A and B are shown apart, each in its own frame.
Chain A
């Protein structure tokens, strides 16, 4: 199994630009999670989906952030417009039951 796949691995963009992060969960997993990791705040859950339906988006920082899961094998996290404080590593994780498996992450730098 290839594990959770994320793209791009690194993204550098200018403030105000739109950023789209992509995730392919492990085949057969029915839950998908987006996390953000920073030194100051650690690992924060942004949103999670179950069977492609958003269940809890209470961690999404503000309206500039949106996430979609159009099918069981693909999800996106979009930031529009991006700001320097959005700089972080964004992880996608998937699970079939309790165990969550993380992707390699996307390191986002907003200048």
Chain B
């Protein structure tokens, strides 16, 4: 079945450093890849997304890259700040014509002040 693998499961960085989270997906028909940030006690918040016709997208300190051939996509956070500490989830759409996602298992990011 469809699967999304996410690494690492935990990541600690010093404030100001960059953080990279990587995901791989199995369904070659996936065409939409969102990233969510979940803070303690809250629901996942959409922070950036990318579609299969684009290789890279950037929004201020956050960027996402997509390699469709390798079925890899990554989240890059630059100049990390303590408020970036949270759990981050990647997801991939399942086939076309549906709105279902498969989520990765999450990465707990800690930004050390």
Interface string of B72-113 (1 = CB under 8 A from A): 000000000000000001000100001111011110000000
Q: Interface 1/0s, chain A 37-56, versus B by CB < 8 A?
A: 00000110100101000011
Q: Count chain A residues whose beta carbon lies closer than 8 angstroms to a beta carbon of B.
A: 21
In whole angstroms, how far apart are the Cα atoms of A31 and B100 in the complex?
A: 10
B16 at the interface (CB under 8 A from A): no
Would B103 and A48 count as touching, CB distance under 8 A? no
Return the CB mask of B18-40 against A: 1 if under 8 Å, else 0.
00000000000000101010000
Contact A56 B103 (CB under 8 A): no
Q: How far is the CA of A56 from the CA of B99 in the complex (A)?
A: 10
Given contacts A42-B105, A43-B89, contact A102 B99 (CB under 8 A): no
**Which of B19-68 touch A at CB < 8 Å?**
32, 34, 36, 42-46, 49, 51
Q: DSSP class of B's interface residues: helix, strand, loop or mixed?
A: strand
Min CB distance, B74 to chain A, in Å?
A: 19
Give the interface SS of chain A, mostly helix, strand, loop or mixed. strand
Give the distance in Å from the alpha carbon of A4 to the alpha carbon of B46 in the complex: 13
- Which residue numbers of A lie inside 8 Å of B, CB to CB? 4, 31, 33, 42-43, 45, 48, 50, 55-56, 91, 93, 95, 98-105
Known: A45-B100, A55-B98, A95-B99. A100 touches B43 (CB 8 A): no
Which residue on A lies nearest to B105, using beta carbons? A42
Which of B42, B99, B103, B105 touches A98 (beta carbons < 8 Å)? B99
